């Protein structure tokens, strides 16, 4: 039974290829059934996730099933990162509910663009 908190995972795969640059999969588990959540991605220049470089709100929307589980994902093509310096960024994903309140966010995770 859902306990009111948001539990989930982000799977971030950087193929950095000519057709698919990165794929992300989002999973929510054991949350309130029948609710819609939005995944938002933020990229920062520092390991404390304080200096925002790029915001990608609304990366994916997902609605939980009767068991309180949901999954979604997005694929970034090379054009999505065109113009960004090839360096290390620090990413944080936030999950918001229907009222746009942040109900969960990940730690600040380093990701290198090659």
What average pLDDT does the structure give for the chain? 90
Where is average pLDDT lowest: 12-26, 29-43, 88-102?
12-26
* 78 φ/ψ angles, rounded to the nearest 5 degrees: -55, -35
* 80 φ/ψ angles, rounded to the nearest 5 degrees: -70, -25
Write down the pLDDT at residue 17. Answer: 77
Contact 105, 93 (CB under 8 A): yes
Question: pTM here?
Answer: 0.87
CA nearest to 113, candidates 60, 72, 53, 64 = 53
Write down the pLDDT at residue 69. Answer: 94
Q: Indicate whether 90 pLDDT > 60.
A: yes
């Amino acid at each position: 039974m859902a306990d009111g908190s948001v539990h989930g995972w982000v799977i971030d795969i950087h193929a950095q290829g000519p057709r698919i640059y990165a794929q992300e999969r989002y999973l929510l588990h054991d949350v309130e059934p029948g609710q819609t959540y939005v995944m938002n991605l933020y990229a920062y220049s520092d390991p404390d996730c304080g200096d925002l470089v790029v915001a990608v709100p609304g990366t994916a929307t997902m609605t939980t099933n009767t068991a309180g589980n949901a999954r979604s994902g997005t694929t970034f093509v090379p054009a999505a990162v065109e113009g960004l310096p090839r360096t290390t960024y620090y990413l944080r994903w936030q999950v918001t509910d229907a009222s746009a309140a942040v109900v969960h966010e990940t730690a600040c995770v380093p990701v290198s663009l090659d």
